[in-house]
Amino acid sequence: MSTDTPPIVLITPDAKAALEAEVKRGGIAGELTGGLLFGYPSDERHRLVVSSVRLHKDVGFGQRDFALNQTRTSRQLKHAQRLVPEATYCGVWYIHRTPHQQLTAEEWTQTQNLLEDPDFRFKDLVCLVLCFYQGELNFYAASFNLYHSARSQSPTPTLLQMTTDSLPTQADAARPPTPPPAPTHWLDSPDVAARLRLEHERLAQAYHVESALMPDGQMVFRLTPKDKHEKLAFYLTCGPGFPGRAPGAFLLAGDRQHPLSSPSLVNWSEKQWLVEMADELVEWLAWTLDQYVAAAEEALNREDYQEAADLLTTVLRIDPRTPRAARLLARAQAPLR
């Protein structure tokens, strides 16, 4: 089995809004509905999506002979490169009118055709599935690589995170910077203060809660579940713009922060409550532990034994039965003794 850690997918607010607009634009009419994503690998671990284009059958999308050099996407690619010069084709997206995020056979074949396009030699592809069902829209991200293609495997689910700001334009760069507001100014609002009190009360029903105001103005909640996974501790952060602006979440392994994500966090709205997101994060963490095991194995391979041990200790606190975790932890701890 491949032990490669799937990349984390980042998406700009503008790119996410454009995809949401595509969902609202029209139905699915029983055929494949989707298109291409434009972006680039910001580093070895992250794939940044900056824009997209919807494709139709008249350009061959969804057909076995589809190839990028046959599509009519040059204008959209140039637009993406105006946003970020490094941008190129980076993946595919599909709309589902069901709650199921798994690719259909037709979508899988289309993704495979793109991955194996001989003119581009992709290392991996971002795959976004937009599930619009009973009035709710959820984004799901996965990574598809040659290992999956050769073995007819589904893409590996991975974390999807929205960048905090849109990409800067040349006009933005030329504009003088605006003096930053006082870090804690946002807490002066009576509405925000009342909302945070309610959030704390709701969290305290299911979690042991410790809250602290950081020097940068972030309100941080340390959460430990009261029943299942009681050894797990993770953190939610709220800052200026909350509750309209999404909170953050991270896991602390040793002294390193590992960002967390989930569909509710990516699709955050001020109608949601932190406790709802926390519950989903606990489930999401338990479901994606293999990614942390893979990251620990990478750390072992580069002889970063402390990071590997911290990650694996965290994994075993969440689920002591996680395959290979105990054995790898013994390997990591041996050189540290």
Q: Is residue 177 assigned to a domain?
A: no
* Number of compact structural domains in the chain: 3
For position 206, what pLDDT does the model report?
A: 94
Q: Are residues 281 and 293 in the same domain?
A: no
d(CA 258, CA 292): 10
Q: Are residues 270 and 224 in the same domain?
A: yes
Q: Is residue 168 assigned to a domain?
A: no
pLDDT in tens, the chain (337 residues): 344 577 889 998 889 989 988 888 765 556 788 999 999 998 888 899 999 998 877 788 887 778 887 677 888 888 889 888 999 999 999 999 888 888 888 899 999 989 988 888 888 999 999 988 777 888 989 999 888 888 888 898 888 888 865 454 444 434 444 444 455 678 888 899 899 999 999 999 999 998 887 777 888 999 999 987 777 888 999 988 899 988 988 888 776 777 887 777 888 889 999 999 999 888 887 777 777 888 888 888 888 888 888 888 888 887 888 888 899 999 889 888 7
Q: Letter for the amino acid at 106?
A: E
For position 28, what pLDDT does the model report?
A: 54
String of b and e for 134-160 (b: at least 16 CB within 10 Å)? eeeebbbbbbbbbebbeeeeebbbbbb
For position 47, what pLDDT does the model report?
A: 92
Q: Are residues 16 and 125 in the same domain?
A: yes
Q: Are residues 133 and 191 in the same domain?
A: no
CB neighbour list of residue 256: distance below 8 Å, 6 or more residues apart: 307, 310
Instruction: Provide the 3-class DSSP secondary structure of residue 140.
Output: strand
Q: 332 lies in which domain range?
A: 289-336
DSSP 68-111: GGGSS-HHHHHHHHHH-TT-EEEEEEEEESSS--SPPHHHHHHH
Q: Is the peptide bond before 243 cis (omega within 30 degrees of 0)?
A: yes
